[in-house]
């Protein structure tokens, strides 16, 4: 209780310190209140005096009570399409686990990678990290965790232990890094292309994005894994207790075939969303309904396993905060302070400046929202400087992949957090090392690779 009281007192104190000075020129009164609220919330994010979902619900309450956002705007963010997209990904993974698909995948990986925990982690993180470029980083993270969880439990890997932290943080970090690889890897990529076309009439095709961004993803995925490894130092001798039965290839059951068929069709609809125009959340939730129409899992067991509060309150609260940063004018104010330092200094300095700003700001808002907020400022600025605006679109899609500091920074973090193996400060500890290393490496990769392929 004493620790919790200190957390609340510190949060209030930080908020007051930020709010007491007069409102800075260029910042609205609502923006000033938002910065004060955000300062206090960050303290609560890291100390967690009450469950994290309740903190995120409280952020919505504060946005309304402080007059930063109106009732409908704030609460509607908790039902944002991306919230339902995350929810349906988790739901499908739970059904997949129930029918045995994730166990089958886990056993296959064990046959290929062996039973050593660290080696298994490397194989699954590399495979799903690369896979994130083609199946969305949320889905890849969800599948990977559902594969690992039974194995972790059988090896008695407890929450908050170094090995548990390593396993549960390396996967979402690698999947986030991989998500930049193609247009379908994350919604932020498609938002970047949409803004580029809206402002300039230029576009980036699927192949062009793959050509420009995939090498960066391919290099930073293993780099992120090694970084998390050195932060937490897992037990390298630990192995999963596997029976010979697990290593045998079993015949496919009817339930597995039905579930896999639905998943394959669903992935096809996600790949072709630009053709049919149906949002991922709609096709995803339709797939969940179809799985239940097939009778693949009892509702009560399913209901007990779905982390409703984490999906709706945590990620919904993150979107609410991100939107508030935009409509309160706080994002534009911060950009007006930050961007002038990089004007007139060439494409690389602009890439670094805008990219670091995006990587930082996306930790307090969805990376889609961060890209949407910064691009309307960055694209005209690049044109004014004589820099190809394509570089800015790629920059925001790629750099906002490294939202490694806070739970709400990106969906893979939220998905991993929902399983209860780490606290927000564990993620921050890894992120403070991973994010700068990944950003620095990406700058080096693009400065070399883009010259080779003729973008710069």
pLDDT digits (tens, 9 = 90+) for 319-353: 788 778 778 888 778 777 777 777 777 888 889 98
DSSP 159: T
For residue 222, what are the contacts with CB-CB under 8 A and spacing of at least 6?
122, 126
- Tell me if 371 is assigned to some domain: no
pTM, to two decimals: 0.75
List the single range of 60-64, 291-295, 299-303 with lowest mean pLDDT: 299-303
State residue 178's pLDDT score: 93
The pLDDT mean for the chain works out to: 86
List the single range of 367-381, 395-409, 439-453 with lowest mean pLDDT: 367-381
In angstroms, rounded to a whole number, what is the distance separating the alpha carbons of residues 221 and 438? 9
State residue 141's pLDDT score: 87
DSSP per residue over 46-70, as a string?
HH-SS-HHHHHHHHHHHHHHTTSS-
Q: How would residue 280 be classed by pLDDT, with cut points 50, 70 and 90? A: confident
* Measured torsion, CA atoms of residues 189, 191, 193, 198, in degrees rounded to the nearest 10: -170
Q: What is the rounded average pLDDT of the residues 341-369?
A: 81
Q: How would residue 14 be classed by pLDDT, with cut points 50, 70 and 90? A: very high
Per-residue pLDDT tens digits for 75-84: 998 887 877 8
Tokens of 415: 């998905």
State residue 193's pLDDT score: 80
Q: How would residue 446 be classed by pLDDT, with cut points 50, 70 and 90? A: very high
In angstroms, rounded to a whole number, what is the distance separating the alpha carbons of residues 312 and 55? 12
- Tell me if 20 is assigned to some domain: no
In angstroms, rounded to a whole number, what is the distance separating the alpha carbons of residues 423 and 403? 16
Percent over 90 (pLDDT), the chain: 33
Q: What is the rounded average pLDDT of the residues 366-391?
A: 77
- Tell me if 8 is assigned to some domain: no
Residue with tokens 């890209």: 371
In angstroms, rounded to a whole number, what is the distance separating the alpha carbons of residues 102 and 146? 6
State residue 185's pLDDT score: 76
State residue 342's pLDDT score: 74
Helix and strand numbers (H, E) in the chain are 24, 0
State residue 144's pLDDT score: 86
Per-residue pLDDT tens digits for 163-210: 999 999 999 999 999 989 987 777 778 778 877 877 788 878 778 888
State residue 216's pLDDT score: 94
- Tell me if 59 is assigned to some domain: no
Q: How would residue 246 be classed by pLDDT, with cut points 50, 70 and 90? A: low
In angstroms, rounded to a whole number, what is the distance separating the alpha carbons of residues 247 and 67? 59
For residue 293, what are the contacts with CB-CB under 8 A and spacing of at least 6?
none
Long-range contacts of 385-389 (CB under 8 A, 24+ apart): 385/343, 385/344, 385/347, 385/350, 387/346, 387/347, 387/350, 388/347, 388/455, 388/456, 389/196, 389/199, 389/200, 389/202
Per-residue pLDDT tens digits for 379-437: 777 887 888 889 988 998 899 899 899 887 788 888 898 888 999 899 999 999 999 99
State residue 294's pLDDT score: 93
- Tell me if 44 is assigned to some domain: no
Query: Phi then psi for 116, rounded to 5 degrees?
Result: -65, 130
Q: What is the rounded average pLDDT of the residues 281-308?
A: 89
- Tell me if 276 is assigned to some domain: yes
* Measured torsion, CA atoms of residues 396, 401, 402, 408, in degrees rounded to the nearest 10: 110
| C-alpha of 85 from chain center | 13
Residue numbers of the domain that contains 238 = 81-184+207-309
Per-residue pLDDT tens digits for 84-126: 877 887 788 788 888 888 778 777 877 777 789 999 999 999 9
In angstroms, rounded to a whole number, what is the distance separating the alpha carbons of residues 372 and 209? 18
For the chain, the domain total comes to 1
Q: What is the rounded average pLDDT of the residues 123-142?
A: 84
Tokens of 118: 């660290």
- Tell me if 35 is assigned to some domain: no
Percent over 70 (pLDDT), the chain: 96
Q: What is the rounded average pLDDT of the residues 121-135?
A: 87
State residue 380's pLDDT score: 75
State residue 429's pLDDT score: 94
For residue 103, what are the contacts with CB-CB under 8 A and spacing of at least 6?
97, 147, 150
In Å, what is the CA distance from 32 to each residue of 18, 23, 38, 324, 333?
Answer: 8, 6, 10, 12, 10
- Tell me if 341 is assigned to some domain: no
For residue 82, what are the contacts with CB-CB under 8 A and spacing of at least 6?
187, 281, 315, 319, 366, 368, 411
State residue 112's pLDDT score: 78
């Amino acid at each position: 209780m004493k620790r919790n009281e200190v957390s609340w007192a510190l949060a209030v104190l930080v908020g007051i310190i930020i709010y007491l000075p007069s409102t800075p020129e260029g910042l609205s009164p609502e923006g000033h209140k938002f910065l004060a609220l955000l300062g206090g919330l960050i303290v609560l994010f890291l100390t967690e005096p009450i469950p994290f979902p309740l903190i995120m619900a409280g952020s919505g309450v504060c946005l309304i009570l402080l007059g930063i956002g109106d009732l409908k705007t704030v609460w509607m963010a908790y039902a944002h399409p991306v919230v339902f997209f995350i929810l349906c990904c988790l739901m499908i993974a739970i059904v997949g686990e129930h029918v045995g698909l994730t166990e089958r995948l886990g056993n296959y990986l064990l046959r290929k990678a062996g039973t050593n925990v660290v080696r298994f982690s490397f194989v699954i993180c590399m495979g799903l990290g690369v896979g994130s470029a083609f199946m969305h980083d949320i889905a890849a993270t969800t599948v990977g965790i559902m594969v690992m969880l039974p194995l972790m439990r059988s090896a008695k890997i407890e929450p908050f232990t170094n090995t548990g932290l390593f396993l549960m943080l390396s996967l979402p970090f690698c999947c986030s890094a991989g998500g930049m690889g193609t247009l379908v890897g994350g919604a932020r990529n498609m938002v970047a292309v949409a803004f580029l076309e809206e402002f300039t009439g230029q576009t980036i095709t699927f192949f062009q994005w793959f050509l420009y961004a995939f090498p960066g993803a391919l290099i930073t995925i293993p780099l992120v894994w090694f970084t998390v490894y050195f932060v937490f130092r897992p037990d390298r001798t630990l192995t999963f207790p596997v029976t010979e039965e697990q290593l045998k290839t079993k015949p496919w059951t009817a339930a597995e075939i039905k579930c896999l068929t639905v998943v394959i069709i669903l992935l096809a609809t996600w790949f072709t969303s630009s053709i049919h125009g149906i949002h991922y959340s709609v096709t995803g939730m339709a797939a969940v309904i179809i799985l239940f129409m097939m009778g693949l899992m009892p509702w009560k067991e399913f209901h007990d396993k779905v982390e409703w509060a984490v999906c709706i309150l945590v990620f919904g609260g993150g979107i609410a905060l991100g939107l508030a940063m935009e409509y309160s004018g706080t994002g534009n104010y911060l950009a007006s302070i930050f961007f002038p330092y990089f004007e007139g200094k060439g494409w690389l300095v602009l890439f670094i400046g805008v990219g670091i700003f995006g990587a930082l700001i996306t930790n307090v808002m969805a990376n889609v929202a961060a890209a949407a907020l910064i691009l309307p400022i960055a694209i005209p600025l690049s044109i004014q400087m004589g820099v190809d605006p394509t570089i800015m679109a790629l920059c925001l899609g790629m750099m906002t992949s490294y939202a490694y500091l806070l739970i709400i920074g990106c969906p893979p973090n939220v998905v991993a957090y929902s399983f209860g193996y780490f606290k927000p400060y564990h993620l921050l500890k890894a992120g403070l090392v991973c994010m700068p290393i990944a950003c620095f490496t990406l700058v080096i990769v693009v400065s070399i690779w883009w010259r080779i392929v003729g973008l710069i």
